[in-house]
Amino acid sequence: MQKITSHLWFDKEAMEAAGFYTSVFKDSRVKNTTTLRNTPSGSVDIATIELSGQGFTLISAGPLFKFNPSVSFLIACTTKNEVDALWEKLSKDGMVLMELGEYPFSQRYGWIQDRYGLSWQVMFMGERNIKQKIIPTLMFGDNVCGRAEEAIRFYVSVFTTSKVGDIVRYSEGEKPEKPGTIKHAGFTLAGQEFAAMDSARAHNFRFNEAISFLVHCNNQEEIDYYWGKLSAVPAAEQCGWLKDKYGLSWQIVPTIMEEMLKGDQKKIAQVTEAFLKMKKFDIETLNRAYK
């Protein structure tokens, strides 16, 4: 199981989006769907899916949070034709952020917000080795602009099997960017690829709960460890959710939750009632509720 998976918050469209995304990407499937009832958002639909073998969770939980480009997903493509095919599907009823075309860093690239507002960077990788098809990419702008490198090194210190990869920096003359800050950097957390950049341009968005990252924990010791390392905003702690010092949202969850939220509606209701009272998850209490 992946240690870290992406979690996407929709108003009402999670199930529809799960069908759409699994139709767009090869080697993709819907793993499970379930409904949680009597939550603060009412009845909540959840779909867990795999896109090109990578895990995502989609939730319909009301209009509280909206996607924005502070977190996007870079799709690494082997051919220009693949770029064009993905662009055609993802751009329908969406909005272009960077036109599809040739850029200094890629012969075929474009940045799009799809019909749901989720951001994708579709990129021909040329001769670069592709280890991971979809790479979560963090844009450090607004109140955290200039802190991308600090954040990367912090995250690498938290997760095992992690490292800082190649870093490309802004140089003189690339205003409004500050020379030396991150134009693009790759890094690995728990064996999974991520990317980050700084952006000093005027943006009316920042990290929010629309996109968070699930950290799957095998025991209470792991939950306690990641919670202690990552949580920096006490007011944001709820139902396994936290915010780190850069405003990025994480969910620290036990791996057994996936099984607990399958099938038996009575058990699902019992577990839901239990975890809604929690900030940090307590596995022993969840097990009692489940049984």
Task: Determine the average pLDDT of the residues in 75-93.
Answer: 97
CB 122 within 8 A of CB 96: no
CB 126 within 8 A of CB 115: no
Assigned CATH topology for domain 71-198: 3.30.720
**pLDDT of amino acid 215:** 98
Alpha-helical runs (H) found in the chain: 14-24, 80-91, 148-158, 220-230, 257-260, 265-275, 283-290
Percent above pLDDT 90 for the chain: 90
Checking if the pLDDT of 58 tops 80, the result is yes
> Using one digit for the tens of pLDDT, what is the confidence trace for 231-285?
999 999 999 999 999 999 999 999 999 889 887 888 999 999 999 999 999 999 9
Residues 6+ apart with CB under 8 A from 77: 83, 86, 108, 122, 123, 124, 125
> Using one digit for the tens of pLDDT, what is the confidence trace for 59-77?
999 999 999 999 999 999 9
Domain boundaries, given as residue ranges, for the chain: 71-198
